[in-house]
Structure 1
């Protein structure tokens, strides 16, 4: 992290510490206790303490609000490079995010950039195997139904990101970017957080899953360190909206656990670079030149081999990079290695974090992810131990 970014993070530290332990005044909102029962390296934010809290959040995302949700802005990182970038260096990065389809948005290729790199640490990886859903679906084999969109509220605004179901002991776990669950600039966690797997043009074919706890590394919550821009969110069993008895009303219908319905991607850490990787997400925002190839309504992917990536301003020091034209909206979407197109399953090895314009033509051509290491696995293990209260 650059001296200027580090000074900004230091200035934010007191605010973050003050805000992180303060419970909101209204029911169903987030109450963060990063240094309570969670390990010292983890910020864990409880969103729901009862089934009533879960229903309150679900009712917030009623069918009418969900219909309008696509009009909201994709979540973006709050801490950005502030130093000027030499004309010969890649342009400053911006957050990724948006909608995508099962069709390829980029072919297999090797990512290249003129930026300096930092070697990543390799070693014996921690590995969690992927799981199939209990019911096989006709869409499996074309695109991963584990991937979907998350919607949430920070302050008085609603946002959205991309995310994926991950195999876990609680069978209700979602992986996304840390900036999709926590505002590092304000030191404020997201509220009213939901996940919709298999999202396609507003449809919720596999249910809606209300967030129970947000779990991320303290380096992101306390410092806005984007080398730790990942989070694991435990969720409640899902539900879908069905027409109520009275005209114009809706009722919640339970659909069971996330993993039972869509399965879960595996997880792997410390795998190094040069791996064939599939990045999925819902890009939506325009490029810097104003062109807008994505609309955020369906799933897109890129495929290629990873390398290390360092931001010109040291905002990201140990990231992985992949050649891909994703724009904002894809943030939080999974990077999968050892991916099997037939089962649409692989191993989570990163998440969309930043997009880059490396040739300075005002169009993004590279995306980056934090490098998954042992501390990533620690956050994952804590998150899978968080179980939502039963209805």
Structure 2
């Protein structure tokens, strides 16, 4: 069990780690929408209007059944150092302030019309019931040994569902983050983005990459998801400690387009799990779709 507590952004347990610095952005009072956003560093949150954007449809899988079985036989359920691949390039660590600070969670680039969205766990960036938004945060993709070869991308807005804010609902332990530009470019222009997968079922082979808070490089795991409940998934991946909250559950990776489908993140039940060997994710359904639509509407 990971017991480190952040400033307003998590409770004991789960896979987030370290301490967030900087000011916390407070939720605006009187919000009645189904989900809420925060402009990081502005000192105030804002209620969000209804959004209407559509999720980009996924690409067909280029992974044969034989290849899937080979991967499962080699790495099924066991963590191992993550190789540098086009899919892993879109995964990075969330840092407090800059690359010299603490990295405490994981996030990944998700395809959007604005080309600037990340996907992570809500508990990484908002404390849930009685908590607040984190601020002064950056995303560092492909982080290795203190190096930010792909830059440090400022997190400018945070989108979490209102039910997470009101009651720490584990079924909505999901967040989308909007990024500022680096060198005049959006992050998706540099790295591409994976497709958000909605209602893809409970039993899928997925590849998970995450950044342990006490390591300078990411780890990966390959296994089949199972159903924890009607609204939660789980997977056996040994050795996924604090810092791996928000790690994407990637399936159906197409080598031709270098695009996969993200169907979950480490989070949800027990904020992702109270041991290092079994991880959980909310099942991505209509409410996650609505949250994504809101994020696209406001930042796409």
Matches of 1:150 and 1:267, distance apart in 2: 20
> Is residue 2:289 matched to residue 1:377?
yes
Count of aligned positions: 238
The change in CA–CA distance for 1:204 and 1:343 in structure 2 (over 3 A counts) is: farther
Q: RMSD over aligned Cα, in angstroms?
A: 3.0
Aligned residue number for residue 175 of structure 2: 231
Per-residue CA deviations over 1:323-379 (Å, capped at 9, x if unaligned) read 10111110011111112467653111110121354xxxxxx3211111100110110
- Distance apart, 1:152 and its partner CA: 3.3
Q: Residues 212 and 28 from structure 1, CA distance in 2 versus in 1: closer, same or farther, beyond 3 angstroms?
A: farther
Q: Alpha-carbon deviations, 1:202-244, whole Å to 9, x = none?
A: 2111111111210011111110111111100111112xxxxxx
Once residues 34 and 186 of structure 1 are traced to their aligned partners in structure 2, the CA distance between those partners, rounded to angstroms, is 13
Paired position in structure 1 for 2:81 = none
Match of 1:47 in 2: 40
Q: Residue 89 of structure 2: SS of its match in structure 1?
A: coil
Deviation digits for residues 95-126 of structure 1 (CA, Å, limit 9, x no counterpart): xxxxxxxxx9x81359xxxxxxxxxxxxxxxx
Name the structure 2 match of 1:11: none
1:327 to 217, 233, 241: 241
Counterpart for residue 155 of structure 2 = 211
Distance (Å, rounded) in 2 between the aligned partners of 1:334 and 1:236: 21
Match in the other structure for 1:348: 262
Contact 1:327 1:355 in 2 (8 A): no
Aligned to 2:76: 108
- Could you tell me whether the CA contact under 8 Å between 1:273 and 1:305 is conserved in 2? no
Distance in 2 of aligned mates of 1:160 and 1:386 = 26
Deviation digits for residues 182-220 of structure 1 (CA, Å, limit 9, x no counterpart): 012542110112111111112111111111210011111
Residue 69 of structure 2 corresponds to which residue in structure 1? Answer: none
Matching residue of 1:338: 252
Alignment partners' CA distance in 2, 1:31 and 1:365: 34
* 1:275-323 Cα deviation digits (max 9, x unpaired): 1111110124xxxxxxxxxx4211211111111125xxxxxx7210111
What's the TM-score once normalised by structure 2's chain length? 0.71
Runs of 4+ in 1 over 4 A off after TM superposition: 341-344
1:220 is matched with which residue: 164, 171, 178? 164
2:149 aligned counterpart, secondary structure = coil
Q: Give distance in 1, aligned partners of 2:197 and 2:155.
A: 23
SS of corresponding position for 1:183:
coil
1:296 is aligned to 215
